[in-house]
Amino acid sequence: MEYLLQANNINKQYANHKALNDISIHVPKQSIFGLLGPNGAGKTTFIRIINQIIAPDSGTIFFDGKPLSQKHILNIGYLPEERGLYKKMKVGEQALYLAQLKGLSKHDAIEKLKTWFEKFEISGWWNRKVEELSKGMQQKVQFIVTVLHKPELLIFDEPFSGFDPINVNLLKDEILELKKNGATIIFSTHNMASVEELCNHIALIDNSNKILEGNVSDIKEKTKENLFEIGYVNPRQHLDIILDENFEIINNEPQNGKFIATIKIRGDVNQNQLLQKLIPQAEILSFTEILPSMNDIFIKTVEKNKTKTDH
């Protein structure tokens, strides 16, 4: 697998606080990479190091195989959680200024900005002051400025903050389009539903340490708990009678004219053996393995890490 960003053994200490402890994170090219963790875990420190706002105390970072340096700044677009627009400036004037800082000529910047402003339906705000815009509108402007110069790496920190559901979907579509067109994206958020929907890979940082990293599908496979949801009708006997001690019935309720059961497989048996017991005793309508959600994985992994560090 090719990586656009490789961070190896990154450490950062602030006075009496260890912000990052030997963190290694590898971001595959053209992926949407979820950088996750509770508040204060170290995510923002890591993002600031990538953007060269601060330097690590030790460790190395490679950008597309080469040591990260000042020349890579123009290859990175960063949308911070805290918005940084000048309230008294006009929207178009400020967007043009920021675009030129990213290396675009005035002519190219105006052309690209007009296209994006039309796409985001904010053309009418070009000559309005930033302070007249809602939080969501300001976020749109800052998103546009972040992606305008087509950087190889985009870092979005809570990009959906302040948006209504319609504009959240608009932004999600644009993020997927950016990835499709070759961008690599680091996506930091507490919204696990968005992670589920967008991310290919994740790293979870807690208490300054990386406690989980990998492909989202692989992580779900590794953390699944042998839970299955079965929809059925016309049972000949109750499930308690049909199933032995190798199967735990978590739930079994009537729902819309059928039964929905959640069953956990225990011991040295598999799902085929579960089906073999059920098929002669009921008409099976559906049989689905329940994989853990990213929200479940996040909470359980952090709680497990807390228990470990407390001891």
Q: What is the DSSP string of 163-178?
A: --HHHHHHHHHHHHHH
In the chain, CATH 3.40.50.300 covers 3-215
- What pLDDT band is residue 84 in, cutting at 50, 70 and 90? confident
**What is the structure's pLDDT at 311?**
59
DSSP state of 282: S
pLDDT digits (tens, 9 = 90+) for 215-244: 999 999 999 999 999 999 999 999 999 999
Contacts of 182 (CB under 8 A, 6+ apart): 30, 152
Residue 303, CA distances (Å) to 76, 207, 211, 296, 299 in order: 34, 11, 11, 11, 6
Ranges in the chain annotated CATH 3.30.70: 225-290
Give the pLDDT of residue 6. Answer: 98
What CA–CA distances, in Å, run from 83 to 57, 125, 145, 158, 181?
27, 18, 12, 11, 26
Q: What is the pTM of this model?
A: 0.89
How far apart are alpha carbons 196 and 199 in whole angstroms?
6
Band (pLDDT 50/70/90 cuts) for residue 207 is very high
pLDDT of residue 153: 98
Average per-residue pLDDT for the chain: 94
**Measured between alpha carbons, how far is 212 from 204 in angstroms, rounded to an integer?**
5
For position 306, what pLDDT does the model report? 84
Contact yes or no for 213/203 (Cβ under 8 A): yes
**What is the rounded distance in angstroms from the CA atom of residue 10 to the CA atom of residue 128?**
43
Rounded mean pLDDT, 92-120:
94
Amino acid letter, residue 151? P
Q: Residue 307: what pLDDT? A: 80
Pairing outcome for strands 283-290 and 227-233 = antiparallel
Which tokens sit at 266? Answer: 């225990």
Measured from the Cβ of residue 111, the count of other Cβ atoms closer than 10 Å reads 11
Cα–Cα distance for residue pair 303/310, rounded to 1 Å: 10
Average pLDDT on 190-213 reads: 95
Fold of 225-290: Alpha-Beta Plaits (3.30.70)
Residue 185: strand, helix, or coil: strand
pLDDT level of residue 106 (50, 70, 90 thresholds): very high
- Residue among 189, 192, 214, 218 at smallest CA distance from 203: 214
- pLDDT confidence band for 129 (50 / 70 / 90): very high
Instruction: Report the distance separating Cα 263 and Cα 248, nearest Å.
Output: 6
Question: What CATH number labels 3-215?
Answer: 3.40.50.300
Span 148-196, pLDDT tens digits = 999 999 999 999 987 889 999 999 999 999 999 999 999 999 999 999 9
On the 0-12 / 13-18 / 19+ scale of CB atoms within 10 A, 143 is buried
